[in-house]
Amino acid sequence: MRLIEELGAWFEARLQLATPIRETMEHQVPRQSASWAYVFGSAALTVFGLQLVTGILLALLYVPSAGEAWNSLQILNHQVALGWFIRALHGWGSNFMVAIVLIHMVQVFLLGAYKFPRELTWCVGVLLLLLTLGMAFTGQVLRFDQDAYWGLGIGASISSRIPVLGPWIVSLLLGGPIIAGATLSRFFALHVFVIPGSLIAFVGLHLLLVLKLGINEWPMPGRIVRRATYVKEYHELVKKDGVPFVPGAIAKDLFFSGFILLAIAVCAVHFGPFGPSGQPDPTIIQTAPRPDYFFLWLYAVLSLLPPSMETPTLLVGPVIALGLLLALPFISGEGEKSWKRRPIAVLTILLVAVSLGTFTHLAGNAPWSPVMDAGSGEPIPETYLKARTALERQGALVFQAKQCHNCHALGGAGGERGPELDRVAVQLTQDQLIRQVIQGGGNMPAYGKNLSPSETTALVAFLQTLHPARLIPARDASRAMESETGQ
């Protein structure tokens, strides 16, 4: 016992850290801020620690070479004892980290913690969010499978649209003319050295700012932030109604961090590691690349924007969003902190959350993508073929053979790129159907060159049978009169 004390004294005489550490642990925080709402920042830090540890463990076996990366992941998944578990921890840790960082940001925004004098803390936080998303994207690339390969192609295609500098940026991004070994190596350097290094530095700065400026007090409606008086008021509040960080506030942080770690471990055991999907061999083109969960909303936006709006949105959108985030604490640095008195802030959060949620949900089944094998894989519902003429059934065959089913659903199956055709006969007359098939239009390709007249006749005959029994098919009024007068 005495030996330990002496050793401690020996180190303390040289390091002289005991006092600053004690001061940091005992620094006073507003009693009401020792709340469950304030646990997300520390949880993000904990998950970051987990990512550092599991990342280093993976680097022991991962081979950052375009020819070998995919194989080394297979070895991790299947041959190394518990390699799959470390991969799963790292993958789920990444998902949790992005989610917790976003929740932390929402919490800071709604509780007004970004206001004077904590503007710089917020701006560093925005940078940390960008770095976290950068880790998520570069990590997805290191999984070097088909999704990673084509995801890089998408990233390159987006970057190439930057005026003037585009092609040069693509070359810098890919490290050469094509997606290959140099691309993986530079994303490895980013994911393992550059971004984590920056993250560690800026997390340190973020924490230093939190310590220097004090943890935000719990917002009370009517307690207004003024630049002239805030710092004095805060110190009075902490003196009057403060608790030391240890043990006053840290207990909730500890419990929540432990809970998050446990949740990540449970997800890792239950769901297992992410991929890798198919080999990164560009000659295997039977693939439908999908981004990871946190970029699905972007995938949806890129599909739904009109083509002419796409490039401006891609290039200007991020700049505006970033500008707004960085300007926020300077625009509204004073005033009410409580979300109960800030309806626009609450509405903004709701709007962004609902938009991102909707886009992510849409991207889940991607109605804008053709179902590439519906023509051969999805049969036409039986009821649409019963009691039909030979010509109409021939038309159903044409419908399948010409891949109409890839974009048009029948009976709820098939693509959703174009409208579903279960009641198309009610909406379009025979002539309109023929015109639409042959000339296309309204975002449908023209099939005139690829359908013989007899195929067109059969297909249109089939389409004309597609209507609910109680509704009569659409017909041309002038034709109807003609046939009536003819009788």
Partner 1 sequence: MTAPDGLSRRRLLVKLGVVFNGAVGAILAVPIVRYILSPAIRVRRPVQGSWLSLGSVGQFPEGQTRLATYRSPAANPADGETANIPCWVRRVAGEKFQVFAINCAHLGCPVRWFPQSGLFMCPCHGGAYYSDGSRASGPPERGLFEYSYRVEQGNLLIQPDEMPTPGDPAASLINISIGRPPCV
Which residues 187-206 are close enough to bind partner 1 by CB under 8 A? none
Could you say which DSSP state residue 413 is in?
B
CB 61 within 8 A of CB 75: yes
Task: Give the CB-side neighbour count of residue 324, counting CA atoms within 13 A.
Answer: 7
Cβ nearer to partner 1, comparing 117 with 419: 419
At 415 the three-state DSSP class reads coil
Q: Which residue type does 246 have?
A: V
Helix intervals (H) in 340-442: 343-365, 374-377, 390-401, 404-407, 424-427, 430-439
Closest separation in Å from C-beta 287 to partner 1: 7
Report CA torsion sign: 300, 303, 305, 308: positive
Cβ nearer to partner 1, comparing 66 with 80: 66
Which residues 127-156 are close enough to bind partner 1 by CB under 8 A? 149-150, 153-154, 156
Structure tokens at 179: 């997606």
Piece of 127-135, 322-330, 362-370, 457-465 that binds partner 1 (CB under 8 A) = 362-370
CB 418 within 8 A of CB 405: no
Closest separation in Å from C-beta 465 to partner 1: 21
134 CB-near residues (< 8 Å, 6+ apart): 190, 195
Closest separation in Å from C-beta 360 to partner 1: 16
Cβ nearer to partner 1, comparing 407 with 425: 407
Cβ nearer to partner 1, comparing 236 with 281: 281
31 closest CA partner among 218, 211, 225: 218
Closest separation in Å from C-beta 107 to partner 1: 34
Report CA torsion sign: 172, 175, 177, 180: negative
Interface map 438-457 toward partner 1 (x if CB under 8 A): xxx--xxxxxxxx-------
Which residues 3-62 are close enough to bind partner 1 by CB under 8 A? none
Total chain residues near partner 1 (CB under 8 A):
72
Cβ nearer to partner 1, comparing 448 with 468: 448
For 29, phi then psi, to 5°, come to -120, 150
With residue 335 as reference, give the H or E element that holds it. Answer: strand 335-336
Closest separation in Å from C-beta 396 to partner 1: 14
Which residues 261-300 are close enough to bind partner 1 by CB under 8 A? 279-283, 285-289, 299
Residue from the set 66, 99, 385, 413 that interacts with partner 1 by CB under 8 A: 66
Cβ nearer to partner 1, comparing 279 with 332: 279
319 binds partner 1 (CB under 8 A): no
Q: What is the distance between the alpha carbons of residues 463 and 404, in angstroms, rounded to a whole number?
A: 11
Interface map 401-420 toward partner 1 (x if CB under 8 A): xxxx-xx---------x---
302 binds partner 1 (CB under 8 A): yes
DSSP labels, 95-143: HHHHHHHHHHHHHHHHTTTTSTT-HHHHHHHHHHHHHHHHHHHHHHHHT
Which residues 160-189 are close enough to bind partner 1 by CB under 8 A? 160-162, 166-172, 174-183
Closest separation in Å from C-beta 170 to partner 1: 6
Interface map 92-131 toward partner 1 (x if CB under 8 A): ----------------------------------------
